[in-house]
């Protein structure tokens, strides 16, 4: 089965058709900038443009979105325009593309990719996927089953929202060294570990390709590994999730 996976982020929108049997992309991934301001209608048009680039007109589309998502509706908007709160994202995407769609939280989608195809494949117990990018995303799994919408990047740390202290964006904005940023990440992960006692941490986001730069500063009881799919995880995971819903072709 083929599904078009689209990963909507605060700065970029990425997509590719996916063979969900193998987890392979069937075409080179395409990225376009997220419209600014990131209003629903403009973002919907950008998703439709991606679909047109792949000549995708009938098959199912899976879309990630950086928000709490329940039944296709956005209930938060940390890194996109606040007008998304209360928006039926599923209806918007289906209206713009004419294709059956599902919408899930972006970090949850990345976690699904790692559990099904990547670093968490076959792992039982409590597995926590943490993505570091513009913000901090989280996905929690118990024996391979997702507990959705954890949004642990919004925990309070030193009087701040955690992602405002330890996201990859903060390292760049504040020009932190790897050890300085690694100490912030370690403090955050130790807090999450205290709350959830995971058996495994999977660290994702684009920064995970440089995991050797900051992993030496992480001191946790749980095993910690880099994500296998990094920035492609959201596309793969949401495509797989869409395939499970047996959407009409």
Q: Tens digit of pLDDT for each residue in 83-122?
A: 999 999 999 999 999 999 999 999 999 999 999 999 999 9
CA distance 137 to 127: 14
User: How confident is the model at residue 248, as a pLDDT?
Assistant: 47
For residue 192, being part of any structural domain is answered with yes
Give the model confidence (pLDDT) of 121-172 as tens digits.
999 999 999 999 989 999 999 999 999 999 999 999 999 999 999 999 999 9
Note whether 74 and 27 are same-domain residues: yes
User: How confident is the model at residue 246, as a pLDDT?
Assistant: 56
Whole-number average pLDDT of the chain: 95
Average pLDDT (174-200) is: 98
Q: What is the DSSP letter of 208?
A: G
Better pLDDT: 112 or 78: 112
In this structure, the number of other CB atoms found within 10 A of the CB of residue 91 comes to: 14
Note whether 146 and 49 are same-domain residues: no
* Domain carrying residue 66: 2-108+232-244
Longest dimension (CA), the chain: 50
Residue 137 bridge partners (DSSP)? 131
Q: Which strand (E) or helix (H) includes residue 239? A: helix 233-244
Q: How far is CA 217 from CA 119, 140, 200, 212, 227, in A?
A: 21, 23, 17, 10, 17
């Amino acid at each position: 089965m083929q599904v078009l996976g689209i990963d909507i982020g605060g700065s970029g929108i990425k997509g590719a058709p996916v063979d969900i049997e193998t987890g392979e992309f069937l075409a080179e991934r395409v990225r376009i900038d997220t419209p600014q301001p990131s209003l629903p209608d403009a973002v919907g048009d950008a998703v439709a443009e991606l679909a047109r680039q792949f000549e995708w007109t009938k098959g199912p589309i899976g879309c990630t979105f950086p928000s709490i998502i329940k039944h296709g509706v956005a209930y938060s908007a940390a890194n996109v325009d606040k007008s998304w709160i209360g928006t039926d994202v599923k209806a918007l995407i289906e209206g713009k593309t004419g294709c059956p769609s599902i919408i899930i939280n972006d970090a949850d989608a990345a976690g699904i990719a790692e559990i099904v195809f990547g670093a968490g494949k076959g792992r039982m117990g409590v597995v926590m996927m943490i993505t570091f990018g513009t913000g901090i995303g989280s996905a929690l799994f118990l024996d391979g089953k997702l507990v959705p919408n954890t949004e642990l990047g919004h925990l309070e740390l030193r009087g701040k929202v955690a992602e405002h202290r330890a996201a990859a964006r903060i390292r760049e904005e504040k020009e932190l060294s790897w050890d300085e940023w690694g100490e912030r990440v370690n403090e955050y992960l130790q807090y999450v570990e205290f709350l959830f006692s995971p058996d495994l941490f999977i660290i994702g986001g684009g920064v995970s390709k440089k995991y050797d730069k900051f992993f030496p500063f992480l001191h946790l009881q749980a095993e910690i590994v880099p994500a296998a799919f990094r920035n492609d995880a959201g596309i793969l995971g949401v495509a797989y999730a869409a395939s499970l819903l047996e959407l009409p072709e």
